[in-house]
Structure 1
Amino acid sequence: MVTTGQLHLIPVGLGDSPIENWLPAQTQQLAQSLTLYIAENAKTARAFLKQVGTNTPIQEITIHTLDKHGTSAQQIREWLAPLKEGQHIGLVSEAGCPAVADPGAVVVAAAHAMNIEVVPHVGPSSILLSLMASGLDGQQFAFHGYPPVNAAERSKTLKDWEANSRKHHQTQLFIETPYRNEALFSALLSTLHPTTRLCIARALTTADQWICTRTVAQWAKASPPEFNKQPTIFLFLA
């Protein structure tokens, strides 16, 4: 009798940092043993496998690339078919935890529909790490992804998020493409109320990690953060 395999949700790093700093040894051993992966980005997945080390040569490991716009439900079911034959599969994101602010959620949903066991593993989540370190409300919060790029739309959206934050005492979390971090920071200072608390969480888990929470008024009087085009989480609480 064939035992059904498991879909393992394996976090990858948020930046340049030793793997032992963010991935438990047991999960490293599991990742080393797998020969079939589903990834948001194959290049990133290969870099992760090179860092973790593999029992099988990387060129012999199958990596299916998940396109959030182009991969069909049928294709995902075909990728997951080896699970029914007892093979384990790893799901990895481009950074952080798979299926959290990540297209891998559709793979997890398909696994549940196929009655496949899903196993999440401990690892870095920039959303939770920044919330932990912000000092803002960790009971009520919302992650929005990216704000609009258009300045007028972005300003309106930020005001709407601030209104929700004030009404529900809800921390608002969002990200931006790193090269637009400075523009977003300027928009936050010009849009949000001076008493709103704003947290900047940059390059989490790396040597360049920097986390600071101040009121908007305090940020306006201080030197602007050094973003250096690095991944950053923005959080505020009105």
Structure 2
Amino acid sequence: MTRPATLYLVPAPLDFGCEVQAPLQEVLPAGTLGIAAGITHWICENAKSARAYLKRINELHPLAVPLQAQHIQELPRLVHKKGDHAGQFDARALLAPALEGHDLGLLSEAGMPAVADPGSSVVRAAHEAGVPVTPLTGPVSLLLALAASGLNGQNFAFVGYLPQDPAQRAQRVRELESLALRTGQTQLFIETPYRNAALLQALLQTLQPGTRLALAAGLTLPGAAVTCRTVKAWRAATPQEASRLPTVFAFGP
């Protein structure tokens, strides 16, 4: 029986969907790029963006096989919409190349796969099948934002996206703020960039004046900005604008 190969968790730069791209050699170690260049079988969110990323890698580290010969599998669309962290998707079929001896790369569109992105089901299936799992070094927006915020980095939670309905969102924000103030736990969440401004305004209307709110926008990009101040200070700032770049939001005492 062929010995299973390795499932590599390959981080991607945080510039997906941005007009300006970060030079790969500045945000990803040469070791990560070298291993990625040697992988010929992939599981990803979107094949088009995966090929675009591999093309960028090829400019620094020649790919083991030409781009058109790469074997790329997409996670189902339902996984993109609903996520796969709760075990509702069976990813075993996607591991067939690894069971045949080919190293597999798991790739999301930005950052570390399976962290605030799909991919958990693939990792879980790999463990169950005895396929070794190796995470590679690269940017993780949640941890970069947390470290730069000054909020509690010893006790924190990522809560995904907040509800879009204003009433439900306000209720959820109050629940999370109560937890944060009671336990000291930092609450981190994200939003689709074009909704950043609306979310910021909702937070400023709902959170208590003394709660500290951080926005980390465009991390690793030339226009990166991290701002953390009390809600009272945010309200006094002019103008109260949120970047249209990918942004991590966080608040706590």
Give the alignment's TM-score, normalised by structure 2: 0.89
Map Cα deviations across residues 118-138 of structure 1 (whole Å, 9 max, x no partner).
000111110000001000000
Map Cα deviations across residues 189-235 of structure 1 (whole Å, 9 max, x no partner).
11001010010100100011000110000011112455442110000
1:152-191 matches, cutoff 5 A? 152-191=167-206
Work out whether residues 97 and 125 of structure 1, in 8 Å CA contact, stay in contact via their aligned partners in 2: yes
Q: Report the equivalent of 1:118.
A: 133
Structure 1 CA distance for aligned equivalents of residues 99 and 238 of structure 2: 56
Q: Report the equivalent of 1:235.
A: 250
Work out whether residues 4 and 130 of structure 2, in 8 Å CA contact, stay in contact via their aligned partners in 1: no
Q: Report the equivalent of 1:194.
A: 209
Structure 1 CA distance for aligned equivalents of residues 138 and 213 of structure 2: 26
Structure 2 CA distance for aligned equivalents of residues 33 and 117 of structure 1: 17
Q: Report the equivalent of 2:224.
A: 209
Structure 2 CA distance for aligned equivalents of residues 2 and 114 of structure 1: 13
One-letter code aligned to 1:219 = W
Work out whether residues 68 and 103 of structure 1, in 8 Å CA contact, stay in contact via their aligned partners in 2: no
Q: 3-state DSSP class of the match of 1:69?
A: helix
Structure 2 CA distance for aligned equivalents of residues 106 and 165 of structure 1: 29
One-letter code aligned to 2:45 = E
Q: Report the equivalent of 2:238.
A: 223
Is 1:57 the counterpart of 2:72 in the alignment?
no
Q: 3-state DSSP class of the match of 2:52?
A: helix
Map Cα deviations across residues 132-187 of structure 1 (whole Å, 9 max, x no partner).
10000001111111101011111111000000001111001001111110011001
Q: Report the equivalent of 1:46.
A: 51
After TM superposition, where is structure 1 displaced by more than 4 Å over at least 4 residues in a row?
70-74
Aligned counterpart for 1:23 among listed residues 8, 13, 28? 28
Structure 1 CA distance for aligned equivalents of residues 225 and 109 of structure 2: 21
Q: Unpaired segments of 5 or more residues in structure 1? A: none
Work out whether residues 148 and 157 of structure 1, in 8 Å CA contact, stay in contact via their aligned partners in 2: yes
Q: 3-state DSSP class of the match of 2:160?
A: coil
One-letter code aligned to 2:36 = A
Structure 1 CA distance for aligned equivalents of residues 154 and 169 of structure 2: 26
Structure 1 CA distance for aligned equivalents of residues 214 and 194 of structure 2: 18
Work out whether residues 200 and 242 of structure 2, in 8 Å CA contact, stay in contact via their aligned partners in 1: no
Is 1:134 the counterpart of 2:143 in the alignment?
no
Structure 2 CA distance for aligned equivalents of residues 184 and 26 of structure 1: 38
Deviation, structure 1 residue 115: 0.7
Is 1:144 the counterpart of 2:153 in the alignment?
no
CA RMSD of aligned residues (A): 1.6
Structure 2 CA distance for aligned equivalents of residues 117 and 225 of structure 1: 47
How much identity, in percent, do the aligned residues show?
Answer: 46
Change (3 A) 1:231 1:194: same
Q: Report the equivalent of 1:4.
A: 4
Equivalenced residues, count = 237
Change (3 A) 1:228 1:162: closer
One-letter code aligned to 2:202 = A
Give the alignment's TM-score, normalised by structure 1: 0.95
Deviation, structure 1 residue 84: 2.1
One-letter code aligned to 1:6 = T
Structure 1 CA distance for aligned equivalents of residues 26 and 240 of structure 2: 25
Is 1:96 the counterpart of 2:111 in the alignment?
yes
Moved more, 4-13 or 223-232: 223-232
Work out whether residues 204 and 210 of structure 1, in 8 Å CA contact, stay in contact via their aligned partners in 2: yes
Structure 2 CA distance for aligned equivalents of residues 231 and 82 of structure 1: 33
